[in-house]
């Protein structure tokens, strides 16, 4: 069975960490008017599935809804495109 890490990040944990850390940072939530609040999603997942435990994105990402992951990736890609245009 294909994992979400494989499906959305080609199995690249570093890429997943970079994008999802970006999406759940305080700075990102200020810049983007999310339909979703990535930080709240992360906090909810961690409290339900990883309370008082260390966690890794490879585990946490499996609890995210597909449409929320897709939205985060699209926003991240849009930011990267805008950065490249401004350089």
pLDDT at residue 28, as a whole number: 54
Decide if pLDDT at 27 tops 90.
Answer: no
The model's pLDDT over 47-69, given as tens digits with 9 standing for 90+, comes to 999 988 899 999 999 999 999 99
Q: Show the tokens assigned to 87.
A: 């350089």
How far is CA 23 from each of CA 1, 27, 41, rounded to the nearest angstrom? 26, 9, 11
Q: What is the C-alpha to C-alpha distance for residues 60 and 50, in angstroms, rounded to an integer?
A: 9
Decide if pLDDT at 4 tops 90.
Answer: yes
For residue 65, give the H/E element and its range: none
Backbone angles phi, psi at 52, to 5 degrees: 60, 25
């Amino acid at each position: 069975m294909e994992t979400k890490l494989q499906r959305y990040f080609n199995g690249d944990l570093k890429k997943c960490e970079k994008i999802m850390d970006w999406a759940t940072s305080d700075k990102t939530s200020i810049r983007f008017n999310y339909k979703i609040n990535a930080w709240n999603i992360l906090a909810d997942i961690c409290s339900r599935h990883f309370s008082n435990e260390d966690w890794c994105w490879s585990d946490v990402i499996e609890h995210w809804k597909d449409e929320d992951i897709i939205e985060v990736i699209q926003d991240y890609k849009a930011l990267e495109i805008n950065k490249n245009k401004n350089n």
